[in-house]
């Protein structure tokens, strides 16, 4: 039986790359979207070309009930759930003095709260899987606690994702489910491209992000949990 994977925010960008990697690895996949229905169906079609099942699911995962419903729908669609990747998370950059409270709350809702809602619902379901995997998308540098005034809401939310993921990893370890964080730096589709700050001198590729996640969901990584894996070319070290 093929494993089944849910990737949030997988109609485009990093989420799409991760989902198509899982399809190529032989996972049945669930393409989650909030408003990009056509793009989600196009991704599902590309996934099916790898000989797996693919379905699209709509939800606003910043809403707790909707996030829980998404996980329940995902588990019902293929009768199982083995891998959950939390990729949803908006980005905001600007002067700290101009950072409005609505933007502050949005950073936490989309990055931290959505991850929490999905994981809390998914973790008990994944205990039934012999290969339960959760991978949360973080931010390279979230473990350094170095002030970044221009992205403070995003940075704090992603640091929260890291701390929550490690707590969840400890809780789920006895059940065999691993929980890890993959942390992109500047990637080819990033909103900002400060290449001069990257020791390797270039942005990362979506394929490189997918390769890191591919390892974390593999059987070879069954003893890896609570890890923080930057994919950043030395950025923020």
Please state which architecture CATH assigns to domain 4-231.
3-Layer(aba) Sandwich (3.40)
175 or 192: whose pLDDT is higher? 175
Looking at residue 159, what is its pLDDT?
Answer: 97
Domain boundaries in the chain? 4-231
Name the pLDDT band for 121 (thresholds 50, 70, 90).
very high
The answer to whether residue 154 is catalytic is: yes
User: How many residues can be counted in the chain?
Assistant: 237
What average pLDDT does this structure show over 33-39? 97
Catalytic residue among 117, 154, 164, 223: 154
pLDDT, one tens digit per residue, over 38-73 is 999 999 999 999 999 999 999 999 999 999 999 999
Name the pLDDT band for 99 (thresholds 50, 70, 90).
confident
Residue matched to tokens 């940075």? 155
Percent of the chain's residues with pLDDT above 70: 100
Looking at residue 1, what is its pLDDT?
Answer: 87
């Amino acid at each position: 039986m093929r494993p089944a994977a849910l990737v949030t925010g997988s109609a485009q960008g990093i989420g799409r790359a991760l989902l198509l990697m899982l399809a190529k690895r032989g996972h049945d996949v669930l393409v989650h979207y909030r408003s990009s229905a056509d793009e989600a169906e196009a991704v599902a079609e590309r996934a099916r070309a790898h000989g797996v099942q693919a379905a699209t699911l709509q939800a606003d995962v910043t809403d707790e009930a909707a996030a829980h419903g998404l996980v329940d729908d995902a588990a019902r669609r293929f009768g199982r759930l083995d891998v959950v990747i939390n990729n949803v998370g908006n980005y905001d950059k600007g002067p700290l003095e101009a950072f409005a409270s609505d933007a502050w709350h949005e950073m936490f809702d989309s990055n931290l709260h959505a991850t929490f809602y999905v994981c809390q619902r998914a973790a008990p379901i994944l205990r039934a899987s012999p290969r339960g995997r959760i991978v949360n998308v973080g931010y390279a540098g979230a473990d350094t606690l170095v002030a970044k005034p221009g992205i403070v809401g995003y940075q704090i939310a992603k640091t929260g994702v890291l701390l929550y993921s490690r707590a969840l990893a400890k809780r789920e370890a006895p059940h065999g489910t691993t929980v890890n964080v993959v942390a992109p730096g500047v990637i080819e589709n990033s909103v900002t491209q400060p290449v001069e700050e990257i020791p390797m001198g270039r942005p990362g590729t979506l394929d490189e992000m997918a390769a890191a996640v591919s390892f974390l969901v593999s059987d070879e990584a069954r003893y890896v949990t609570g890890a923080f894996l930057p994919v950043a070319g030395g950025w923020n070290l």
